[in-house]
Amino acid sequence: MTVASHRRRATTALAALGVVLAATGALAPAAGAAQRPAPLTGLRTVPGTDCAGGTLLGLGDVALSADATTSAVEFQLLRAGTYVPVADATVAATPGTASVYGVARETLAAAAGGAITDFDWKARAKGGPTPGSWSTTCHFRYDPTVPAAAPQLTVPAGLKVGTPAQITVASTGGQPPAAYEYRLGAGAPHTAAADAAGGAVLTVTPESAVAVLTVTPLSPGGNRGPAATATLYAQVPAPVTGDYDGDGRADLLLAGGRFGLGEGLWMAKGQPGGGLAPAVQVGAGGTGRNAPGSAADWNGTQVVGGRYANRNGVLAYVPSAGVATALPYAAGSFDPNRAVNISSRTFVNSTTGAHVEQLADGGELYRAGVGIPTGDASADDLLALADGKLYLLAAAGVPGAYSTLDGAVELSATNPAGTGDWHGWTIASAVVGPDRQPGLFARDDAGGALYYYEASALTGPLATGDPIGAPVLVAASGWDAAADPLLQGADLNGDSTADLWSVDAQGNATAHLFNGTTMTPLATSAIHPVS
């Protein structure tokens, strides 16, 4: 046997041994051999969905993202259930950061072919001698459809400012929309789902006499079609005493420094059903008595809403000093630059030196009592508690002018319970009806009894010199000042009967509807501002 033959046989034997060693795992890879990168993680579809793909994406670009482990990442996009790539690209990457591949809307729309389509995608590490294994397959749905036509809007007759109305929407052609976005004027947009035929009913509340409603059809993925508009003409309700923002609902006024409110004058705007929005500052400029004014001017004041100088305003009364100013409401706040100072003699007993302790809106009670036509006075009278008695301070024809306490009409020296004078009682009123007459609530602060006087019960001393009429006992207890420090009257449902708000020490206001004999509590609202 030749030397060459021995060498061939040796080589063949070694090769066979290598196969056996490799098969049994006894032969390890040589040091420095290429390692296959692990499958990538951190897979996300942008916008709006994770790898599982529970979100339907609208017409737009889509970004595929994976956490890179090498210098490049390959992304592959396919229609679900197929093996033909819609897009396949390798992008440069930085290990430890997200690698992103953007797929243009044109590419997706072309692959979708005008219908909602499911897509799969995956990614793998590249940039080395051996590409990594493919990642988990991700999924998303893509909507290339767009509503073809503006919807038809049907607006009912008899719209009223502040009253919810239902607007009917119908699809006018093409694939029915999945939903509608609607906006009244410059208000916030809202969305309503459509039925299978593309129909929907929108509930809107006109806030002004004229407003434009804009309705935009939306595809299942949120793609916007041509919008339709309708001009809403709404009847403005008769002026409501205490309605400062003009929406036909009375608003609650509170001097700051309690109920979780800072200094100033605060207004909680009335909402449907007797609710209130969180209070907003409406008196940062002061009461008009001090110059320059500040929110601190409202400290220690009693605020009495009513008609002053022919418009809704507020009387800022300081019981400790017996002084007051009347401020009109304009452009979202009470204007101290247009405030009217009321003579300090108005609220002082010149004999005893005592000040009026409380005030309430008296409407046009004096006119009704003496037989003067009502409904058009430029300023409201004032009901007052002083020296343990109930008085009426009649408004004069000059802004800020009232009969003084010395010349006021004494309505009653006996409290509603008949147990003594008016010390320890709280009064709150609401001016109601076209003749603007006050309904007066009176509360025993300690015992919690609540009484009510109709305006007609208060006119006896004015018309005939007779005593005032007997009040209605609304509740024998439960209205004490400790539980509800503040009471404020209002006509909450427009039935020309006084209703009542109560505010507890924590700043929760409850609306109570009154039917002339009993109270029915409605909504309770937290009036302090949202932090």
Residue 24, number of CB atoms within 10 A of its CB: 8
| 20-24, 118-122, 142-146, 455-459: segment of lowest average pLDDT | 20-24
Average model confidence (pLDDT) for the chain?
A: 89
Task: Look up the pTM and report it.
Answer: 0.60
Whether the predicted pLDDT of 239 surpasses 90: no
Whether the predicted pLDDT of 130 surpasses 80: yes
The predicted pLDDT at position 54 comes to 76
Give the 3-state secondary structure of residue 529: coil
The predicted pLDDT at position 364 comes to 95
Domains 41-142 and 152-233 share a fold: yes
**Alpha-carbon distance values, 273 to 239, 293, 504, 512 (Å):** 18, 36, 19, 10
Whether the predicted pLDDT of 47 surpasses 50: yes
Residues in the chain: 531
The predicted pLDDT at position 309 comes to 65
C-alpha–C-alpha distance, residues 399 and 385, integer Å: 22
| Yes or no: domain 252-526 corresponds to CATH 2.110.10 | yes
Q: What is the pLDDT of residues 366-409, one digit of tens each?
A: 999 999 998 888 899 999 999 999 999 999 878 889 999 999 99
Q: Where are the domains of the chain?
A: 41-142, 152-233, 252-526
Whether the predicted pLDDT of 19 surpasses 90: no
The predicted pLDDT at position 513 comes to 95
Whether the predicted pLDDT of 430 surpasses 90: yes
Q: What is the pLDDT of residues 483-515, one digit of tens each?
A: 999 999 999 988 889 999 999 999 999 999 999
Q: What is the pLDDT of residues 61-78, one digit of tens each?
A: 999 999 999 999 999 999
> String of b and e for 106-140 (b: at least 16 CB within 10 Å)?
eebbebbeeeebebbbbbbbbbeeebbeebeebbb
Whether the predicted pLDDT of 27 surpasses 60: no
Q: What is the pLDDT of residues 158-191, one digit of tens each?
A: 998 878 999 999 999 889 999 999 999 988 899 9
The predicted pLDDT at position 153 comes to 97
Q: Are residues 181 and 224 in contact, defined by beta-carbon separation less than 8 angstroms? A: yes
Instruction: Give percent above pLDDT 90 in the chain.
Output: 72
For residue 521, which of 482, 492, 496, 497 has the smallest C-alpha distance?
A: 492
The predicted pLDDT at position 55 comes to 83
Whether the predicted pLDDT of 332 surpasses 70: yes
Determine the average pLDDT of the residues in 298-317.
88
Q: Are residues 179 and 165 in contact, defined by beta-carbon separation less than 8 angstroms? A: no
The predicted pLDDT at position 308 comes to 82
| E-strand stretches of 355-507 | 358-363, 381-386, 389-393, 409-412, 425-432, 437-444, 450-453, 472-475, 486-490, 499-503
The residue ranking higher by pLDDT, 273 or 91, is: 91
Dihedral over alpha carbons 501, 502, 508, 511 (to 10 degrees): -30
- Model confidence at 291, pLDDT cuts 50, 70, 90, reads confident
Superfamily name with CATH number, domain 152-233:
Immunoglobulins (2.60.40.10)
C-alpha–C-alpha distance, residues 204 and 211, integer Å: 11
Instruction: Give percent above pLDDT 70 in the chain.
Output: 92
Whether the predicted pLDDT of 32 surpasses 90: no
Whether the predicted pLDDT of 212 surpasses 90: yes
| Yes or no: domain 41-142 corresponds to CATH 3.40.30.10 | no
The predicted pLDDT at position 3 comes to 34
| 207-221, 242-256, 401-415, 417-431: segment of lowest average pLDDT | 242-256
Q: What is the pLDDT of residues 318-331, one digit of tens each?
A: 999 999 999 988 87
Whether the predicted pLDDT of 2 surpasses 70: no
